[in-house]
Copies of this chain bind each other. A is one copy, B any other.
Amino acid sequence: MPPAGWDVQAICGGDLRAAAALMRGLDDDLPGAREALRAIYPRGGQAFLVGLTGSPGVGKSTLVSALISAVRARGERVAVVAVDPSSPFSGGALLGDRVRMHKHVLDGGVFIRSLATRGHQGGLSRSTAAAVAVLDAAGFPVILVETVGAGQAELDVADATDAVVVVTAPGLGDDVQALKVGLLEIADILVVNKGDREGADRAAADLMAMLALAARPAPPILKTTATTESGIEELVAALELLRHRPEAERAARRRHQAARQVAAMAADPLRARLQAAVSGASAGDPLSHTIASVADRTLDPWSASDFLMSVLK
């Protein structure tokens, strides 16, 4: 790989080795990787981007695996960007989940990319967006973005995809608790997975009752059993409807997403700048004094934050 750059030509020609190399380069922030990303960005925009999200234990990975099979059966190539929990302990992603996708490993029409949640949420959204942009430019017609875990990363998936599938399952403590309510807002399709389990119908009914309170039209609620691929055909059909949204609707969604993505990306380095300014403050630095004052309660953190804002303009 010449230090001058990455093989943009090969990536846009569908060379997966080159695409994977750029994704790794972006993860490690190697020289030229960002520039290559910028160069390939205009070549994307064709892929159908599907987000899948939900609490741990609902069977998202099994569902993704079943979706991969369904897309492959239609003759389309498919890429998966899976956001995994990780830890400074191991420095990498926990791969337990990926095991469930092992049957697709030898299929050249399937590409799976796991992203570890190194650093904070903002960084994760950034690397997810980068991986999607590379795979999009590399010509995958369908890209599945699976977020494991919860919180902001789950909600951010709505800003990065064309259709969001929110997955729940019966029997995860309180059903109401198990599906965090913020997720209902972003769902284009709701899936009750593990549909063969006791309580699946009640879970679907509960969802319907919650959605009845919503101002917007309720998204479809589907029941699947990913392990037996039951209900997958219906899910694919519902996704196809969203894939062929009217162009005006699609353009409006992408414009809204662009605004939110840019704001999120800019917030990230700004926060890093703040954190560095605060933690790296040397003894003689007025910031160091500010923090010490907060620690000994002679100053409150709200005033300290206002001071910081005024310093940074």
Residues of A within 8 A of B (CB): 34, 37-38, 41-42, 44-45, 55-59, 85-90, 94, 96-97, 117, 120-121, 129, 133, 148-154, 172-174, 176-178, 180-182, 184-185, 210, 213-215, 251, 254-255, 257-267, 269-271, 274-275, 277-279, 281, 290-292, 294-295, 297-298, 300-305, 308-309, 312-313
Contact = CB atoms under 8 A, between A and B. Distances in A.
Contacts of A267: 267, 270-271, 274-275
A172 B56 contact: yes
Copies per complex of this chain: 2
B180 A149 contact: yes
A224 to B, nearest CB: 16
B301 A278 contact: no
Contact of A56 (B55, B251, B278): B55
Nearest to A136: B297
A59 B88 CA distance: 27
Given A291-B262, A301-B262, A152 B120 contact: yes
B266 A309 contact: yes
Residue among A96, A184, A261, A305 with max Cβ neighbours from chain B (10 Å): A305
B309 A270 contact: yes
Contact of A258 (B86, B271, B295): B295
A227 to B, nearest CB: 13
Given A173-B58, A180-B56, A275 B294 contact: no
B150 A151 contact: yes
B182 A117 contact: yes
Contact of A263 (B148, B259, B274, B298): B274
Contacts of A177: 56-57, 85, 94, 96-97, 148
A38 B303 contact: yes
Contacts of A178: 56-57
